Structure 1
């Protein structure tokens, strides 16, 4: 019965040293720091876009409210004139 691949394969000493060298030392720490910085920057930009979109929506709603108020005022004037 096959386990479907390299499940418990023995790792050679050289390969082990290579793998451990990837995750220890300054290089790995720098890569992880860079990755975190990129993720933070991406998140910040997404929040900025979201805020801009919300501001546009608010501005649009304010304009519509202003227009509606103007229409109501106009309608009141016309009803007063017709009375």
Structure 2
């Protein structure tokens, strides 16, 4: 179970950092991180980090899929983690 916690911490930090990098690149008109990559990292367990990154950097907040999709995915991930650790 400890390995799962370490994995979740790393993937959520990665998602948070990627949102920050993409926001900085958006401001500077530089090459961006694709939405597909952001969603992939969120889907494999980084949804909470991506959601916190979206809110704190105010990035992708106008995109319906990010605004509501990340919230739903984070809720699903929280419920899955709760289920795994209480079983």
- In the superposition, the TM-score normalised over structure 2's length comes to 0.33
Q: Bigger radius of gyration, 1 or 2?
A: 1
Give the TM-score of the pair, scaled to structure 1: 0.34
